[in-house]
Amino acid sequence: MLMRFDPFRDFDRLAEQVFGTARTAPWIPMDAVRREHEVELHFDLPGVRPDSIDVTVEKNVLTVKAERAWYPAEGDEVLARERPHGTFTRQVLLGEALDTDTVSATYTDGVLTVRIPVAERAKPRKIEITRGSSGPVEVTS
Banded model confidence at residue 75, pLDDT cuts 50, 70, 90: very high
Residue pLDDT, tens place only, 17-31? 565 555 455 679 999
Residue pLDDT, tens place only, 24-68? 556 799 999 998 899 999 999 999 999 999 999 998 899 999 999
- Whole-Å CA distances, 17 to 10, 14, 22, 83: 11, 5, 9, 21
* Distance from chain centroid for Cα 105: 11
Domain layout of the chain by residue ranges: 2-121
Identify whether the C-beta of residue 103 lies closer than 8 Å to the C-beta of residue 124. Answer: no
**CATH dotted code for 2-121:** 2.60.40.790
The pTM assigned to this predicted structure is 0.69
